[in-house]
Amino acid sequence: MAEVPALEIRGLTRRYGKVIAVEDLDLTVQVGDIYGFLGPNGAGKTTALRAALGLIRRDTGTVRLFGDDRLVGARSKVGAIIETPAFHSWMSGRENLLQAGQLSGLGGVALDREVDRVLERVELTERAQHKAGGYSLGMRQRLGIARALMGGPKLLVLDEPTNGLDPRGMREVRELVRSLALHDGITVLISSHLLAEVQAMCNRVGILQRGRLRAEGTVAELLSEGAGDGIVEVGALDMGALSAAVAGIEGVENLGAGAEGRLRLRCGELPLYALNAQLVGQGVQVSALVPARRNLEDVFMEVTR
């Protein structure tokens, strides 16, 4: 079944003077995805998201939200945080949400109920009556998420939503995003520099660099690419002896220190049992032999090298 994608970007280019912030970008977020949008600082993530939401002009390219290229109307299905959410500082958190709700066409009892619902969702009910200007960074971030949820969007666009949150806050956002996706059926497009978070949370990932999409796929696909390098971490009672032994084995490359004091080796085609046999044969007392798992950080580093 070919469902209409939640977001479909085709051939998007945006320049700022000579700087090409986003270049010929194709990006598709399917309904149900939690899509991680990665890239180094200045890669063009925020620019791409702004253009996708109709905040800024596109030099070329088309954007469709749920198949609709009239973005004004289609935005009723979208909630978004772009960079740091901004609020009217002289109004309470609640009043700020009321403003957003009115602009989404809500009114009366339904509006009040919706505000209560989203406040509850981000656990900000207690401070809702206080002036937004007095909120801490993390509270503003939560209020931003609450506002993005106003009106029950089907797609959430979150540009670095965990920026400035404490460890508990980050975890809460991660769990919130998960539960929004799982229980509320909301599609999520999230840009982040926290690769472990993205790896734990997202099913699809796209990596942007200098305005171009360098890699894209499911997390599993990206992690398995090039995974046959045969990188192994080895521990021994006498690490000196281990290093010396490794130097004498044909086709094994010493990559230096690995996790927990182990040695990182690339053994290419050599199977683990053969490596172990050789080491033991040279009198090394092997205490650990761990095939290194590639993580998203490794992929990110390779792709954006």
Partner 1 sequence: MTLAAVTRAEVYKLFSRSSSRAGLLMVVLLAALPPILVLAARLGMGVWLGPDQMFNGLPVSEYFSLPGSSAQVIALRIRDFFVLKALILLLAAQIFAGELQARTLREDVLRPVSRCSVLLAKWFALVAWIAAVSFLSWGASAGLGLVFFGWGDAWQGPILGLFAAVVGDAGFAAVALAASVLTRSVAATVAGVFFLAVLDYGLDWVLWLMKMAPMIPHEYGKLAGQVAEAAYPWMPFSAFALWRGFETGSWGWQGAITLMGMTALALVVAIGAFRRMDVP
Ligand X SMILES: Nc1ncnc2c1ncn2[C@@H]1O[C@H](COP(=O)(O)OP(=O)(O)OP(=O)(O)O)[C@@H](O)[C@H]1O
Task: Report the site for ligand X in 40-69 (rule: CB under 6 A).
Answer: 41-47
One-letter amino acid of 230? G
In the set 104, 192, 199, 278, which binds partner 1 (CB under 8 A)?
104
Q: Which of 51, 55, 53, 7 is nearest to 27 (CA)?
A: 7
Nearest CB to partner 1, comparing residues 100 and 231: 100
Provide the angle, in degrees to the nearest 10, between the axes of the packed helices 239-247 and 272-281.
110
Nearest CB to partner 1, comparing residues 85 and 235: 85
One-letter amino acid of 42? G
Q: From the CB of 121, what's the least distance to partner 1, in Å? A: 18
Q: Which of 65, 95, 86, 89 is nearest to 77 (CA)?
A: 65
DSSP-derived letter for residue 16 is E
Q: From the CB of 196, what's the least distance to ligand X, in Å? A: 17
Nearest CB to ligand X, comparing residues 45 and 147: 45
Nearest CB to ligand X, comparing residues 99 and 304: 304
Stretch that binds Mg ion, among 38-46, 91-99, 255-263, 293-301 (CB under 5 A): 38-46
Task: Report the site for partner 1 in 26-85 (rule: CB under 8 A).
Answer: 50, 53-57, 72-76, 78, 80, 82-85
Beta-bridge partners for 28:
8
Total residues at the site for ligand X (CB under 6 A)? Answer: 11
If you count them, how many residues does the chain have? 305
Q: Is 130 helix (H, G, I), strand (E, B) or coil?
A: coil
Q: Is 221 helix (H, G, I), strand (E, B) or coil?
A: helix
Rounded Cα gap, residues 158 and 191, in angstroms: 6
Nearest CB to Mg ion, comparing residues 173 and 263: 173
In the set 11, 42, 67, 107, which binds partner 1 (CB under 8 A)?
107
Q: Which of 44, 36, 83, 33 is nearest to 295 (CA)?
A: 36
- Based on the shown chain and the rule CB under 5 A, indicate whether residue 46 belongs to the binding site for Mg ion: yes
Total residues at the site for partner 1 (CB under 8 A)? Answer: 32
Stretch that binds ligand X, among 36-44, 182-190, 278-286, 287-295 (CB under 6 A): 36-44
- The β-bridge relationship of strands 204-209 and 34-38 is parallel
- Based on the shown chain and the rule CB under 5 A, indicate whether residue 104 belongs to the binding site for Mg ion: no
Task: Report the site for ligand X in 15-34 (rule: CB under 6 A).
Answer: 16, 19, 21
CB neighbour list of residue 140: distance below 8 Å, 6 or more residues apart:
84, 85, 87, 132
Rounded Cα gap, residues 279 and 292, in angstroms: 18
Instruction: Enumerate binding residues for ligand X (CB under 6 A).
Output: 16, 19, 21, 39, 41-47
Instruction: Enumerate binding residues for partner 1 (CB under 8 A).
Output: 50, 53-57, 72-76, 78, 80, 82-88, 90-91, 95, 98-100, 102-105, 107, 147
